[in-house]
């Protein structure tokens, strides 16, 4: 862990970004976390890079010390024994894993333990005793789909919550009472697709505040 983390001041934060339109806020979230004194690295899915300019954050050529993509986990050259394993190195480096936005597809993967990209491999290798913050973002009907509650319930079970409730809001409340996991619920607003309803990612300030509060525990 970073020295500052032990004092409740700063941490090494791994920011996971998935393929929701809310990923357009990645530069702002990245900058806001750094302004709080945290050291931040990004691990992004392929779909996520459609929504934000990787080069604006990580430079050209891209610095993999700032933004990690799947090709860093599986480069073209053949693996040699003792080569670093990217998702394990990220897990060792990070004090806290923040996934914002968390899209419906990745939520399903986390719930079922699938690990077919670097981000989900980090999740599968993550020490469950270490802090996690999740900020879901998806269309209203996707959020209200029965599968979403099932997947949130699976995350609650993974967090050691026995017999989690069936309602998404109640599940989130139960998870947020745990020691090391937080879900920042989506908000109601006009979505990028034009629909109006719940599903938009929480405000950046809310996510950063939740992250800070968990770090300081």
Catalytic residues: 193
SS (H, E, C) 133-194: EEEECCCHHHHHCHHHHHHHHHHHHHCCCCCCCCCHHHHHHHHHCCCCEEECCCEEEECCCC
Residues paired with residue 39 on neighbouring β-strands, in sequence order? 12
Buried b (16+ CB within 10 A) or exposed e, 99-118: bbbbbbebbebbbeeebebb
d(CA 194, CA 140): 11
d(CA 100, CA 86): 20
């Amino acid at each position: 862990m970073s020295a500052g983390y032990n004092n409740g001041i700063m941490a090494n934060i791994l920011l996971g970004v998935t393929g929701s339109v809310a990923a357009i806020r990645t530069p702002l979230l990245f900058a806001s976390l750094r302004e709080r004194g945290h050291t931040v690295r990004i691990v992004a899915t392929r779909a996520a890079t459609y929504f934000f300019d990787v080069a604006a954050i990580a430079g050209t050529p891209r610095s993999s010390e700032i933004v990690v993509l799947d090709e860093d986990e599986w480069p073209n050259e053949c693996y040699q024994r003792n080569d670093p394993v990217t998702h394990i190195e990220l897990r060792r480096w990070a004090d806290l894993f923040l996934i914002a936005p968390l899209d419906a597809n990745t939520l399903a993967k986390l719930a079922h333990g699938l690990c077919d990209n670097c981000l989900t491999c980090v999740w599968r290798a993550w020490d469950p005793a270490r802090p996690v913050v999740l900020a879901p973002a998806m269309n209203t009907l996707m959020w209200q789909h029965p599968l979403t509650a099932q997947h949130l319930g699976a995350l609650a079970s993974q967090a050691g919550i026995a017999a989690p409730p069936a309602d998404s809001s109640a599940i989130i409340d139960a998870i947020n009472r745990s020691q090391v996991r937080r879900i920042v619920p989506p908000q109601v607003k006009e979505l990028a697709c034009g629909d109006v309803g719940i599903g938009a990612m929480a405000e950046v300030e809310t996510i950063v505040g939740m992250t800070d509060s968990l770090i300081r525990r």
